[in-house]
């Protein structure tokens, strides 16, 4: 716990004999070194407690093995924060025979790690409260932007600040793959993608210690009370989110009594630190990213204990995230009195936070210009009765769904993005749409929400520009159709035949087996339509018509369009015709169809006649045929399926 079992630098590397004396002589030519004591425990650098002749207080000789600029960063940071944070001052920085080193102030005490591991006293809570208070003072220092610090404390923008991409890239590293199981790696990927929206953002620029854990905090008993005397090791400091330091401190909190975390977090909040709603998830994600980075830089042969501990910590984090996910169930209900104020707030805050990356401030203000008109919200909600999503009783999203399939407002609280709220709302919309046999659902979708709607099966119909208070905004008309069609296969044949037989229509399997043979031969195409996964109808397109006029002009013919009565007037026939016409257009500028003349108990051809005219089909002007032969005036013909009027349509 607290990295106590990790392999230490002092166990694998030490200065050559006499080197410490040379470094001290370079820093203090007139001083004599009287004692040197290696301080064990460092995982990155070497630290020696040194005593100079005729000096009362010892000093620290700090040798930097990783970053040559770290000494300058620590020196300038200590000078910057010395009034409020107990960081050791740096007296001298030098270089000797390839070694970069510094002479720093010695602060008395033992590490908070050693204290916590050897004590289970009442002092734990008081000490953690002080640690929380000190961290609040550290975060009070801000820089111009986030990034890394150079030796002059200037902020250098990192090549990529995408923590998510970095973490996912680590999962492809050879060392990481060798230590973690494939199942664990898959679970990490899932967690990162599920909670990606909760990672800290680039706009935070607080001073972050970078390695804020009990090993780098000194404590001492003074006048009978344990107090914090020093915060060490600032070499990893950077401007960013203070959640990084909170994550570091709480990495092993699950192995400590509750007061360890509770006292620390309470002190943070009492001293002005605002924790986001999902901070426990965020710190797990940040720790996950840090641990993957550590694992990437750890050779299992040289650091077996470190790798084992990292693996155990990652496994714990994944378990915690799974438990949190189970507890955070989204409930969807209908609108209730009193919801309007929450809905209005979600609308305004979501637009101004989530949509801010795709729209200007002027556009956002126009978009939300009426958000505080609660009377209007109440009237609208009472009329549309929106779906309302809650987590633990808190309203976290809403969706307005109109009877014609139009989704009007669809918003998820900005702090609950990616929590499954949108998915839960969309699920309820689709259930209602299917129950009402709506052929589609559609919405005007913002640039920001486009990816979410696409992930739910919506397709962009067109990009459009709308005006709100004379301000132009771009959105996308998107729709999801519940009617689908595909080419006939042998699997469809028994289902089609059974469906028609169930309503008294004789459609033997042999008919569709013949169609399938013709399709395989390139003579005919057959499309089968489904609504909500259930068979709804079919149509065929015959390239060479039996009707002589079409045959002579090479006009492909739509033959045998049939939609089950239960699925009429919901777009099934239109989709089948659209599909056939689109395919016909690849070989011809005209398409044809023959239409019967009677209307029966099930509608016969009456509805079809109206449909074809509405779609732009007109009679071909060659009269009526019976069994593909022209009818002769004065003769008698049976009114059945073979008495046909022929229509054609020009294809665009």
**Residue that finishes a domain, picked among 89, 105, 121:** 105
The answer to whether residue 316 is domain-embedded is: no
Residue-by-residue DSSP string for 296-350: HT--TTT-HHHHHHHHHHHHHHHHHHHHHHHH--EEEEE--TT-HHHHHHHHHHH
Residue ranges of the chain with pLDDT lower than 50?
none
pLDDT of residue 286: 94
Based on the fold, state whether residues 423 and 496 are members of the same structural domain. no
The answer to whether residue 311 is domain-embedded is: no
To which residue do tokens 């200007």 refer? 360
- Report which DSSP code applies to 646: E
The answer to whether residue 325 is domain-embedded is: no
3-state secondary structure 150-171: CCCCCEECCCCCCHHHHHHHHC
pLDDT of residue 569: 82
- Report which DSSP code applies to 254: G
Task: Tell me how crowded residue 646 is: count the other CB atoms within 10 A of its CB.
Answer: 23
Query: 594-648, pLDDT tens digit by residue?
Result: 999 998 665 578 888 888 999 999 999 999 999 999 999 999 999 999 999 999 9
Based on the fold, state whether residues 85 and 46 are members of the same structural domain. yes
- Report which DSSP code applies to 106: -
The answer to whether residue 304 is domain-embedded is: no
Based on the fold, state whether residues 570 and 607 are members of the same structural domain. yes
Percent of the chain with pLDDT over 70: 96
pLDDT of residue 350: 95
Based on the fold, state whether residues 270 and 157 are members of the same structural domain. yes
Cα–Cα distance list, 176 to 7, 185, 195, 296 (Å): 18, 9, 21, 6
Phi and psi angles of residue 514, each rounded to the nearest 5 degrees, phi first: -65, -40
User: Looking at residue 288, which CATH number applies to its domain?
Assistant: 3.90.1200.10
How many whole angstroms separate alpha carbon 207 and alpha carbon 225? 29
Q: Both tokens of residue 501?
A: 């037989």
**Residue that finishes a domain, picked among 439, 462, 481:** 481
Query: 500-531, pLDDT tens digit by residue?
Result: 999 999 999 999 999 999 999 999 999 999 98
Query: 101-158, pLDDT tens digit by residue?
Result: 999 999 999 999 999 988 756 678 899 999 999 999 999 999 999 999 999 999 997 7
User: Looking at residue 401, which CATH number applies to its domain?
Assistant: 3.40.630.30
| Nearest Cα residue to 250 out of 337, 191, 313 | 313
To which residue do tokens 């002190």 refer? 267
- Number of structural domains found in the chain: 4
How many whole angstroms separate alpha carbon 624 and alpha carbon 645? 5
pLDDT of residue 120: 58
The answer to whether residue 97 is domain-embedded is: yes
pLDDT of residue 181: 95
Q: What is the pTM of this model?
A: 0.59
pLDDT of residue 122: 65
To which residue do tokens 């910590």 refer? 313
User: Looking at residue 32, which CATH number applies to its domain?
Assistant: 3.30.200.20
**Residue that finishes a domain, picked among 434, 452, 481:** 481
Based on the fold, state whether residues 446 and 499 are members of the same structural domain. no
Based on the fold, state whether residues 472 and 497 are members of the same structural domain. no
Q: Note down the domain range covering 544.
A: 491-650
The answer to whether residue 312 is domain-embedded is: no
Phi and psi angles of residue 68, each rounded to the nearest 5 degrees, phi first: -70, -25
Based on the fold, state whether residues 163 and 230 are members of the same structural domain. yes
pLDDT of residue 407: 98
Mark residue 457 as left, alpha or beta (left: phi above 0; alpha: psi -120 to 50; beta: remaining). left
Q: String of b and e for 217-254 (b: at least 16 CB within 10 Å)?
A: bbbeeeeeebbbebbbbbbbbbbbbbbbbbbbbbbbbe
Based on the fold, state whether residues 462 and 498 are members of the same structural domain. no
The answer to whether residue 318 is domain-embedded is: no
Based on the fold, state whether residues 101 and 114 are members of the same structural domain. no
How many whole angstroms separate alpha carbon 226 and alpha carbon 228? 7
Based on the fold, state whether residues 244 and 125 are members of the same structural domain. yes
Do residues 218 and 229 make contact, with C-beta atoms less than 8 angstroms apart?
yes
Q: Both tokens of residue 490?
A: 């042998």
The answer to whether residue 25 is domain-embedded is: yes
Based on the fold, state whether residues 499 and 464 are members of the same structural domain. no
pLDDT of residue 202: 63
pLDDT of residue 9: 60
To which residue do tokens 């801010």 refer? 356
Q: What is the CA radius of gyration of the chain?
A: 37
Based on the fold, state whether residues 146 and 98 are members of the same structural domain. no
């Amino acid at each position: 716990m607290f990295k106590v079992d990790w392999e230490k630098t002092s166990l694998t590397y030490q200065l050559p004999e006499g080197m410490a004396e040379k470094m001290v002589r370079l820093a203090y030519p007139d001083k004599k070194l009287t004692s040197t004591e290696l301080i064990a425990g460092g995982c990155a650098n070497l630290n020696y407690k040194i005593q100079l002749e005729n000096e009362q207080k010892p000093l620290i000789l700090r040798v930097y093995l990783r970053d040559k600029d770290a000494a300058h960063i620590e020196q300038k940071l200590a000078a910057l924060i010395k009034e409020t944070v107990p960081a050791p001052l740096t007296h001298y920085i030098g270089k000797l025979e390839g070694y970069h080193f510094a002479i720093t102030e010695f602060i008395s005490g033992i590490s908070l790690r050693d204290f916590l591991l050897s004590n289970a006293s009442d002092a734990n809570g008081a000490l953690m409260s002080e640690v929380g208070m000190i961290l609040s003072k550290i975060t009070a220092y801000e820089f111009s932007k986030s990034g890394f610090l150079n030796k002059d404390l200037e902020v250098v923008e990192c090549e990529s600040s995408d923590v998510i991409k970095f973490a996912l890239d680590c999962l492809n590293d050879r060392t990481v793959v060798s230590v973690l199981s494939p199942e664990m790696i898959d679970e990490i990927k899932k967690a990162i993608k599920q909670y990606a929206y909760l990672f800290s953002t680039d706009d935070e620029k607080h001073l972050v210690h970078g390695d804020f854990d009990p090993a780098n905090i000194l404590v001492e008993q003074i006048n009978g009370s344990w107090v914090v005397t020093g915060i060490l090791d600032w070499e990893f400091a950077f401007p960013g989110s203070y959640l990084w330091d909170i994550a570091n401190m709480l990495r092993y909190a699950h192995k400590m009594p509750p007061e360890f975390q509770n006292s620390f977090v309470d002190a943070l909040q009492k001293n002005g630190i605002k924790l986001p709603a999902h901070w426990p998830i965020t710190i797990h994600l940040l720790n996950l990213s840090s641990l993957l980075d550590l694992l990437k830089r750890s050779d299992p042969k040289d650091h077996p204990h470190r790798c084992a501990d990292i693996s155990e910590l990652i496994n714990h984090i994944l378990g915690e995230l799974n438990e949190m996910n189970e507890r955070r169930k989204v409930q969807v209900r209908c609108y209730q009195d009193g919801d309007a104020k929450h809905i209005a707030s979600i609308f305004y805050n979501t637009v101004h936070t989530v949509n801010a990356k795709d729209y200007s401030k002027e556009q956002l203000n126009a978009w939300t210009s009426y958000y505080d008109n609660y009377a209007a919200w109440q009237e609208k909600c009472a009329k549309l009765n929106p779906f309302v999503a809650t987590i633990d009783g808190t309203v976290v999203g809403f969706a307005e769904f109109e009877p014609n399939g139009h989704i009007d407002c669809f918003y998820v609280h900005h702090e609950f993005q990616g929590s499954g709220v949108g998915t839960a709302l969309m699920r309820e919309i689709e259930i209602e749409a299917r129950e009402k046999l709506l052929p589609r659902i559609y919405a005007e979708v913002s640039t920001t929400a486009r990816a979410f709607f696409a992930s739910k099966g919506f397709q962009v119909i067109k990009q459009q520009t709308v005006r709100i208070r004379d301000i132009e905004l771009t959105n996308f008309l998107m729709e999801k159709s519940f009617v689908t069609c595909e080419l006939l296969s042998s699997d469809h044949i028994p289902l089609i035949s059974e469906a028609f037989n169930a309503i008294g229509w004789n459609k033997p399997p042999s008919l569709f087996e013949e169609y399938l043979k013709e399709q395989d031969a390139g003579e005919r195409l057959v499309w089968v339509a489904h609504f909500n996964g259930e068979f709804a109808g079919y149509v065929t397109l015959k390239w060479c018509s039996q009707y002589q006029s079409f045959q002579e002009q090479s006009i492909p013919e739509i033959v045998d369009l049939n939609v089950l009565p239960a699925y009429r007037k919901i777009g099934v026939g239109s989709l089948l015709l659209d599909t056939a016409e689109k395919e016909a257009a690849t070989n011809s500028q005209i398409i044809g169809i023959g239409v019967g003349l009677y209307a029966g108990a099930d509608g016969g051809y009456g509805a079809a006649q109206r449909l074809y005219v509405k779609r732009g089909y007109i009679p071909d002007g060659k009269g009526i045929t019976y069994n593909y032969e022209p009818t002769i005036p004065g003769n008698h013909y049976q009114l059945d399926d073979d008495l046909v009027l022929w229509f054609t349509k020009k294809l665009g």
